[in-house]
Amino acid sequence: MEIRRDHEYAHGTNAVYALFTDKKAIRAKQKALGARNIRIEECRKTADGAAVSFVRELPADVPGILSKFLQPWNTVEQSEEWRCCDDAVYEADLVIDIANVPVTITGTLQLEPLDDGCVNHVHMTIECGIPFVGKTLAEFVARDCSRLIADEYDYISDRLGSA
């Protein structure tokens, strides 16, 4: 399953990048998205980019058929490796691991400047190799990822609007 979204912001890439790579901003965003037990494992910036890793518990409205794989609250670890590119472009590779759930979630983010702000190109791939219920599990996780991506966009837009 593939997810592709382009989120436009009225602020430049530096402002949006800061919200993805600042420990306090990450914690506040995850809390606003409904997460609990948030732990920032790594948040290290360098001249070339940033390494970000955090763990949190996220709620899921799990249908009965998937209750063997997902719980009402699931521990989710996310790692992002950010690179500073030319022309104020920032790119990240991301990996998301849901504890004890047999799906693979990988993706990329690219913050690209626009004349009146920037765009975040979001691309994620969700895969599950389990026969029979694997497709259903991947579709459920993809829907939940899509919801969280939309909620994150709304949160960042509101946060930048009040800055």
Domains of the chain with bracketed CATH: 2-161 (3.30.530.20)
Instruction: Using the predicted structure, report yes or no on whether residue 138 has a pLDDT greater than 70.
Output: yes
116 — pLDDT class (breaks 50, 70, 90): very high
d(CA 127, CA 100): 14
What does pLDDT average to over the chain? 95
119 — pLDDT class (breaks 50, 70, 90): very high
pLDDT tens per residue across span 40-97:
999 999 999 999 999 999 999 988 889 888 999 999 999 999 999 988 999 999 999 9
Instruction: Using the predicted structure, report yes or no on whether residue 137 has a pLDDT greater than 60.
Output: yes
Instruction: Using the predicted structure, report yes or no on whether residue 162 has a pLDDT greater than 80.
Output: no
Q: Torsion-angle region of residue 132: left (phi > 0), alpha (psi -120 to 50) or beta?
A: left
Q: Torsion-angle region of residue 109: left (phi > 0), alpha (psi -120 to 50) or beta?
A: beta
pLDDT value of residue 63: 87
* Closest C-alpha to 92, from 101, 100, 83: 83
Residue with the two structure tokens 């837009």? 157
Stronger pLDDT, 7 or 67, i.e. the higher one: 7
Contact present, 120 and 11 (Cβ < 8 Å): no
146 — pLDDT class (breaks 50, 70, 90): very high
pLDDT value of residue 163: 56
